[in-house]
Structures are given as structure tokens and as C-alpha cells.
């Protein structure tokens, strides 16, 4: 058995992009772990840990084999009839196959017992090759595979440095590759492997000697002033911020994304409080938070009454001997930024929001889809149409739509693009617009990200749906649908937001009518891609439903019916799950699948059938099924009409016995054409009525 030791791989760089650090480190660790596991270098006792800090990412794995275990491989070669002649000798075809595989020496016979590392054997109808793949050494394996793993990392933009051709997310300065106490002899990204990591850039810039991988985390923290574990460092940042806020007798507003970014910017986090002129509190608090969080990566503070305080918590990457210097540095940068925001606030208010509408004619939305002014007109019309279906005031929805993008021309949104819609709400309120109009301007952009709040007002819901619909229809109509992992225009996010608003706000809007309105609003300017967009929305919808806890088969059973009322689908899925729990469910699902196959084969043969005629029912079992279906559906239809989908499906449990009896005693594909068509029509009616909620055949195993 090969010797096992611990393995450490660390790539040391210039400061890494903070928003990409966690993803890069995770992808690197998962890539290394996955390939080692697939190649039999890991055992059941191996344990891996990922590390990430501003100047490095690393992975440490325990109990890695020095040499991968030998692996037995069984490969199907060809049918016996083509491989072996009457005398048991290998045919020419088999000989050529073995020569191609480098095993020409095996053509002399086909023994049935194991007689070495390479072995041919016969199982019924096929000749197989069993071989033993010798395990590779770890060093050779790492030299070959690490470059491949690095090439596949999700690096948004690669860069070069110095005179070489090496490309990476940032210049690489050191590489640690330790297997037990041995340095793996390798070069990667232009750097030779060694056993020296680096500590904090300022607190411990000297190299840190590592005897073995298990020393890594302690050595960095105790000697290098670096907490390499991202999650531990994140917890440390949060603790520091909360403690500093408590000293201010305040509550820190901790945004998860900001916490991640600050963690990715610091190796030895130290929190300290600072302040700004209370006069700036006249600004909308979203502006102050944007300055503190987005521009300065500081945490805002609120008082006991929930109001924003003229204080903040900054997190430094150094334990300063004079914290006041660090505090004053943050305050000195924040002050002019707030002053700029106050200037924008005053200047923007000099021009009413509605006066900016004309200026949108000069701003291109998309070169093939026109200007933002044209988009605004389309969205206004769509939103007014949606308003009539969901109880919103159409006049106010149109007004909100007209004003919805005017804030894009303000200086404040020019400086803080993330405040679009939010500033529109504030400026509209100052202009005296109705509260519902102001709210809808802000809510049009919701949800802005996964898990974000949805529009609260009916006007906001209509406007948000119309805006997303216009974008989706327009871009699908000019052939700009997402491909693979690429979605630069955020259409997946738009589709998911569209779905969430309809489903979670329970809006009674038929999907196909919405899509038709979206494409028609372009007046023939784009191609009709309704079918493609509908398929795209259902694909997003399936993922959304699975994320909500619904399982694959029920989701497929409901969505394959292309339901047009998305708001009803969760209730339909709950009904399908309740149906699955019935003792009759398995039998009825299997029968439904059988019916589907019979009908599909009959249609392929050109059979035509309409409604079943009771006069042509000859066998007792088919008449019994006809009567049972008619009786069951009469009761079930009322349940469906009032939305009791569980009750509707449960009603059909009564059909188990007549369905079983029908298939036991009735020949569907009878020689008499009239009889055959009538029986096919009966089965088609059975399938149609059973499957109004979902295609039950999809539940059959």
C-alpha cells in the first residue's frame, strides 16, 4: 500500500480582486480535491480545507497517497459473433481492435479465467477486456493536472506581468507545494515550488518556513498575522464590528455582501469607529449608506430608534499603534464624498423629474431596440394593460412608468448607479407626485438580486413586470438570448424576477397573453420569439420550484402541461405530491403512461379518433370505465373550478379498479376500425381528464 502524507498547495499573489476571491479559492480547492479523488489518491480518512486571504488561496488535504491505487478497468469490446470464429479463435476484427489498444499479444485465445493484469473474457453476447491501470505517482500527477485546474478557474480577466507569457488573475510571487516534509519539484505560473509562505504585508513581510502542511494555519496566524481561513476571518470581522458598535451604544447595519468584501480585503482585521458631520443626515439615508458601504466599505450605525447616526465602523487591515490616525484617514475620505452627494442632491432638485423625460430620447437602451424614451413608452403601455388585471390604478401606473427612468439623468444616479429608482422615488415625492407613483418608481427594479424584496404595491408590481417583460421580449426578439453560462444582460435574473412577482404575489396573469403583449409592443420591429422565451421562462421556473423544495418528477409533471397561470402552479404541485401518497397513485400513474404510449403509437400510424361513442362500447370492462370516468369527472370538475387540485386528483383514485379491468380484458387495437377508434378515444378522454392538473404519467417509475 502506498504511503500517505498531507498535501499543501498555496498560490501567493498580489492582492486579489475582493469580489472574486471566495469564488476563486473555492473553485481551486474543489478542482484539486475532485481530481485527486477521481484518480484514487484520497482515502476515506482524507480531509480537505480551503484557505483564502487577499494575497493567497490554498488547499490542504490530509492522507494523500504518494502513489494512486491501481485501478481495475472493464471495457466492452464487441459482440461475440463478430469477435470469435467457430473454432474459438479471435477474428480479424477483434485482432485489429486489440492492436489499436496496444494488446496485440492477446489474440491467441479467449480464456475465461483471470490470468494476469490484462484479460479477455466472454459474457453472454459480448467480449470484454479487463485490465489493471497502474497508479500514477503524485508528483507526476500534480505536474500535469494543476495547470489544467488553474486554466479552468473562473477568472473574469487575466493579466500578464514582467517579461513572461504567464497569465493569471494577479502576478504570482510564491508557490508552496508540500507533500509531507518534502517540497514537490514543480514550477507553476512561472514560480518554483518551495516551503516558504508569506505573512501580512506590513506586520510580517518576511518568509515563513513550513516544515509540513499541518503547520500552515498556525504558522500564518501566530507568526504571520494572517487568518487564512476565510470563514473564521469573516466571523472575526463581524465580531469586531459588533463590538465596536456596542461601544458606540449603536447597532451596526451589516450587509452580507459587504462583510464578504471586507473579509476579502483584510488578513488581520481591526474595527474602529468614526464619524461625519450630522448635517449630512439631511440626505436620503440610501445615499449615506451608498457612500459608506459601496465607496468606503464601512458599516453604517443606527441608534435605538432605528435612525441612521452620523457614525460608522471601518475595518482596517492592520493593528495600528495609533488608531486615531486610521480613524481620521477614513473620516477625511468620507467627508468630501458626502459633500459631493449633498451638492448633487441640491442641484438635482432644481429640475422636476418629469422635465427630464425628453432627455431620455438621447440615451440608447439597445442599438436595435431604440432609446430609453422608446422603452419608457412601451413599458407604460404594457404596465397599464397589466394594471387592469391586478387591481392597480392604470393612470397612476402610466404616470410612474413615464417617470421611472428620469432619475437616470440626475447627477446623483450618475455618481451612484445603484440608487436608480430609489432616487426617482425621492425626487418624485419632492415634486408632489402621489405616494403610489413614488413607490412604483422604486419598485420597478425589484427584485434587484436573488432573495431581494418584491414590489409591495399593485402599481409597482405592474410596472416591474412590464419592464422585465419588455427587456426579455426585446432581447429574445433580436437573438440575444443567454447562451451557456454567459448572460451579460441579466436575462436569467429578469426572468426569475418576473416569475417571483407573479407567483409570490399570486397575480392572475396568463403567461402567453403577457408574452404576446410584450412582443406586439415592438410593432414588428423584432422577430416573434414567443416560443423561445416561453421555454426559457419555464426552464427558470423549474429551477425556482426545485429551490422551493418541490421534487423533480412533480415539477416535470406540472410544467410539461405548459400551465399559463404561474401563480397556481405551487398549489398544483402540492396536489400532485398529495396524490403520490395515495395507495392507488403508482398503479394509476403506470396506467397513464401506458395510455400515453398507446395513443402516441396509434397517432404515429395515422389513427384518427374523436370523442368516445357509448353506443360502440362492446365489452363490459370498457363500458364500466366509460361510466366510472363520466361519474368521477362530473364530481371532480367542480373541485378543479374552485382550485381544489388535491381533491380533483384524489377523485380519480376511484378509477383504479375499472382501469385495471379494462387493460386486463379489452384489446384496444382491435381489427374493427370503428371499435379501435372508439377505444382510443376513450383512452384519450381518460388521459385528458386525469391530466388537467399534471401529466400523471411522468410520475411512473
| Bond before 447 cis per omega within 30 degrees | yes
Whether residues 207 and 161 share a domain: the answer is yes
Return the number of other C-beta atoms located less than 10 Å from residue 342's C-beta. 16
Q: What is the pLDDT of residue 132?
A: 67
The DSSP call for residue 360 is G
246 and 90 in contact (C-beta within 8 Å)?
no
What is the rounded average pLDDT for all residues in the chain? Answer: 92
pTM above 0.85, yes or no: no
Dihedral sign of CA atoms 163, 168, 173, 179 in order: negative
Q: Considering Cα of 201, then 147, then 163, then 183, what sign does the dihedral take?
A: positive
C-beta atoms surrounding 179 within 10 Å: 20
Sign of the dihedral through C-alpha 582, 586, 592, 596: positive
Contact 273, 328 (CB under 8 A): no
Q: Do 381 and 461 sit in the same domain of this protein?
A: yes
Is residue 558, in this structure, part of any structural domain at all? no
- Return the pLDDT at 692: 94
pLDDT at residue 478 in the model = 96
Question: Are 282 and 410 within one domain?
Answer: no
Same domain flag for 190 and 327: no
- C-alpha 412/C-alpha 278 separation (Å) is 20
The helices-and-strands tally (H runs, E runs) of the chain is 25, 20
One domain for residues 185 and 247: no
Higher-pLDDT residue of 118 and 313 is 313
Q: How far apart are CA 268 and CA 315, in angstroms?
A: 10
**Which residues neighbour 538 within 8 Å (Cβ) at sequence distance 6 or greater?**
559, 562
pLDDT-derived band of residue 85, with 50, 70 and 90 as boundaries?
confident
pLDDT at site 124: 66
Whether the per-residue pLDDT at 111 is higher than 60: the answer is no
pLDDT confidence of residue 610: 85
Residue 113 predicted with pLDDT over 90? no
CATH number of 498's domain: 1.10.3210
Give me the pLDDT at residue 110, please: 52
**Nearest to 588, CA basis, from 684, 493, 696:** 696
Q: What's the mean pLDDT in 480-504?
A: 92
What percent of the chain is predicted at pLDDT more than 70?
A: 96
Q: Is residue 454 part of a domain?
A: yes
Mean pLDDT, range 680-690, rounded to an integer: 94
For residues 48 and 79, membership in a common domain is answered with no
Q: Give residue 112's pLDDT.
A: 47
Rounded CA separation 440/561 (Å): 34
pLDDT tens by residue, 354-366: 999 999 999 999 9
Phi, psi dihedral angles at 381 (to 5 degrees): -65, -45
Question: What pLDDT score does 522 carry?
Answer: 96
Among 107, 126, 106, which Cα is nearest to 116's?
106
Q: Which residues of 662-692 are buried (b: 16+ CB within 10 A; e: fewer)?
A: bbeebebebeeeebbbbbbbbbbbbbebbbe
Question: What 3-state class would DSSP assign to 580?
Answer: helix
Q: Please give the grid coordinates belonging to residue 542.
A: 423549474
* Residues 505, 614 within the same domain: no
* Predicted pLDDT of residue 115: 46
State whether 315 and 421 are in the same domain: no
Q: Assess whether pLDDT exceeds 80 at residue 240.
A: yes
Task: Report the C-alpha gap between 92 and 108 in whole angstroms.
Answer: 12
**Residue 99, pLDDT score:** 79
Name the nearest CA neighbour of 61 among 89, 76, 75, 41: 41
Overall number of domains in the chain: 5
**485 domain-assigned:** yes
- Which helix H or strand E contains 694, and what residues bound it? none
Residues 393, 498 share a domain: yes
Domain for residue 353, yes or no? no
Question: Of 114, 133, 152, which marks where a domain is finished?
Answer: 133
Per-residue pLDDT tens digits for 370-420: 999 999 999 999 999 999 999 999 999 999 999 999 999 999 999 999 999
- In three-state secondary structure terms, 89 is coil
Alpha-carbon distance of 524 to 562, in angstroms, equals: 26
What is the structure's pLDDT at 393? 96
- Phi then psi dihedrals of residue 563, to 5 deg: -60, 135
pLDDT on residue 117? 54
Cβ neighbors of 147 (< 8 A, separation 6 or more) are 188
Per-residue b or e along 448-476, where b marks 16 or more CB atoms closer than 10 Å to that residue's CB: eeeeeebbebbbbbbbbbbbbbbbbbbbb
Tell whether 561 is covered by a domain. no
Q: Considering 206, 222, 238, which residue would you say is the last residue of a domain?
A: 222
Q: What is the pLDDT of residue 677?
A: 93
- Decide if 567 is inside a domain: no
Domain with residue 605: its CATH number is: 1.10.730
Query: So what's the pLDDT on residue 114?
Result: 39
Question: 599: domain range?
Answer: 573-699
554 domain-assigned:
no
Cell digits of residue 352: 422636476
Question: Do residues 185 and 86 both lie within one domain?
Answer: no
Which of 133, 154, 184 is the C-terminal boundary of a domain?
133
Give CA–CA dist 227/225, Å, rounded.
Answer: 7
Find out whether 66 and 182 touch, Cβ atoms under 8 Å.
Answer: no
Same domain, 240 and 205: no
Residue 619: inside a domain, yes or no?
Answer: yes
Confidence band (pLDDT; 50, 70, 90) for 701? low
Q: What pLDDT score does 104 carry? A: 62
pLDDT of 270 reads 96
Q: Do both 122 and 209 map to the same domain?
A: no
The grid cell for 543 is: 429551477
Predicted confidence (pLDDT) per residue in 191-231, tens digit: 999 999 999 999 999 999 999 999 999 999 999 999 999 99
Q: Which helix H or strand E contains 52, and what residues bound it?
A: strand 48-53
pLDDT in tens, 553-603: 999 999 999 999 999 999 999 999 999 999 999 999 999 999 999 999 999
Q: Are 521 and 470 in contact (CB under 8 A)?
A: yes
| CA trace torsion 640, 643, 644, 646 (10° rounding) | 90
Dmax (CA) of the chain: 101
HSE-CB at 639 with a 13 A cutoff on CA atoms is: 20
Residue 119: per-residue pLDDT: 66
Residue 1 has pLDDT above 60, yes or no: no
Amino acid at each position: 500500500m502506498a504511503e500517505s502524507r498531507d498535501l499543501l498547495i498555496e498560490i501567493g499573489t498580489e492582492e486579489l480582486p475582493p469580489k472574486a476571491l471566495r469564488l476563486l479559492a473555492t473553485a481551486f480547492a474543489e478542482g484539486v480535491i475532485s481530481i485527486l479523488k477521481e484518480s484514487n489518491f484520497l482515502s476515506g480518512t482524507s480531509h480537505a480545507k480551503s484557505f483564502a486571504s487577499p494575497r493567497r488561496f490554498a488547499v490542504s488535504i490530509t492522507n494523500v497517497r504518494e502513489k494512486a491505487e491501481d485501478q481495475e478497468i472493464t471495457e466492452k469490446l464487441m459482440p461475440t459473433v463478430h469477435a470469435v470464429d467457430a473454432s474459438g479463435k479471435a477474428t480479424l476484427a477483434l485482432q485489429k481492435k486489440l492492436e489499436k489498444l496496444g494488446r496485440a499479444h492477446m489474440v491467441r485465445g479467449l480464456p475465461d479465467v483471470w490470468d494476469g493484469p490484462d484479460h479477455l473474457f466472454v459474457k453472454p453476447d459480448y467480449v470484454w477486456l479487463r485490465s489493471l491501470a497502474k497508479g500514477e505517482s503524485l508528483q507526476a500527477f500534480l505536474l500535469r493536472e494543476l495547470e489544467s485546474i488553474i486554466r479552468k478557474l473562473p477568472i473574469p480577466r487575466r493579466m500578464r506581468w514582467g517579461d513572461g507569457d504567464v497569465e493569471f488573475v494577479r502576478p504570482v510571487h510564491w508557490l508552496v507545494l508540500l507533500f509531507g516534509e518534502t517540497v514537490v519539484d514543480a514550477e507553476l505560473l512561472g514560480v518554483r515550488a518551495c516551503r516558504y509562505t508569506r505573512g501580512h504585508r506590513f506586520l510580517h513581510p518576511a518568509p515563513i518556513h513550513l516544515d509540513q502542511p499541518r503547520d500552515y494555519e498556525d504558522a500564518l496566524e501566530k507568526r504571520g498575522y494572517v487568518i487564512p481561513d476565510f470563514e473564521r476571518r469573516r466571523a472575526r470581522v463581524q465580531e469586531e464590528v459588533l463590538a465596536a458598535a456596542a461601544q458606540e451604544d449603536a447597532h451596526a447595519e451589516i450587509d452580507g455582501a459587504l462583510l464578504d468584501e471586507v473579509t476579502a480585503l483584510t488578513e488581520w482585521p481591526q474595527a474602529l469607529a468614526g464619524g461625519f458631520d450630522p448635517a449630512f443626515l439631511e440626505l436620503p439615508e440610501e445615499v449615506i449608506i451608498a457612500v459608506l458601504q459601496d465607496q468606503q466599505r464601512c458599516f453604517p450605525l443606527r441608534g435605538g430608534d432605528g435612525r441612521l447616526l452620523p457614525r460608522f465602523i471601518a475595518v482596517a487591515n492592520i493593528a495600528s499603534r495609533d488608531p486615531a490616525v486610521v480613524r481620521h484617514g477614513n473620516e477625511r475620505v468620507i467627508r468630501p464624498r458626502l459633500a459631493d452627494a449633498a451638492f448633487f442632491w441640491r442641484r438635482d432638485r432644481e429640475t422636476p423629474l418629469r422635465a427630464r423625460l425628453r432627455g431620455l430620447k438621447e440615451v440608447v437602451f439597445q442599438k436595435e431596440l431604440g432609446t430609453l424614451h422608446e422603452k419608457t413608452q412601451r413599458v407604460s403601455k404594457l404596465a397599464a394593460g397589466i394594471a387592469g388585471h391586478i387591481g392597480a390604478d392604470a393612470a397612476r401606473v402610466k404616470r410612474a412608468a413615464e417617470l421611472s427612468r428620469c432619475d437616470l439623468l440626475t447627477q446623483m444616479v450618475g455618481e451612484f448607479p445603484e440608487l436608480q429608482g430609489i432616487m426617482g422615488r425621492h425626487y418624485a415625492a419632492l415634486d408632489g407626485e402621489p405616494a403610489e407613483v413614488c413607490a412604483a418608481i422604486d419598485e420597478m427594479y425589484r427584485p434587484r438580486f436573488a432573495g431581494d424584496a418584491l414590489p409591495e404595491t399593485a402599481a409597482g408590481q405592474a410596472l416591474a413586470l412590464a419592464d422585465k417583460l419588455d427587456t426579455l421580449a426585446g432581447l429574445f426578439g433580436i437573438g440575444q438570448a443567454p447562451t451557456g453560462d454567459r448572460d451579460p444582460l441579466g436575462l436569467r435574473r429578469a426572468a426569475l424576477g418576473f416569475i417571483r412577482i407573479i407567483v409570490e404575489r399570486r397575480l392572475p396573469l396568463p403567461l402567453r397573453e403577457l408574452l404576446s403583449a410584450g412582443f406586439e409592443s415592438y410593432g414588428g420591429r423584432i422577430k416573434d420569439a414567443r416560443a423561445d422565451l416561453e421555454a426559457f421562462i419555464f426552464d427558470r421556473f423549474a429551477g425556482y420550484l426545485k429551490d422551493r423544495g418541490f421534487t423533480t418528477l412533480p415539477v416535470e409533471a406540472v410544467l410539461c402541461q405548459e400551465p399559463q397561470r404561474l401563480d397556481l402552479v405551487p398549489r398544483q404541485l402540492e396536489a400532485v405530491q398529495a396524490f403520490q401518497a395515495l395507495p392507488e397513485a403508482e398503479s394509476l400513474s403506470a396506467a397513464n403512461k401506458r395510455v400515453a404510449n398507446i395513443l402516441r403509437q396509434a397517432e404515429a400510424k395515422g389513427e384518427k379518433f374523436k370523442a368516445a361513442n357509448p353506443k360502440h362500447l362492446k365489452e363490459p370492462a370498457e363500458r364500466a370505465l366509460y361510466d366510472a370516468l363520466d361519474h368521477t369527472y362530473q364530481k371532480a370538475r367542480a373541485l378543479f373550478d374552485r382550485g381544489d387540485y388535491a381533491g380533483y386528483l384524489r377523485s380519480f383514485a376511484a378509477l383504479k379498479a375499472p382501469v385495471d379491468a379494462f387493460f386486463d380484458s379489452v384489446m384496444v387495437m382491435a381489427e374493427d376500425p370503428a371499435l379501435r377508434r372508439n377505444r382510443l378515444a376513450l383512452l384519450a378522454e381518460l388521459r385528458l381528464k386525469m391530466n388537467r392538473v399534471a401529466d400523471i404519467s411522468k410520475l411512473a417509475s
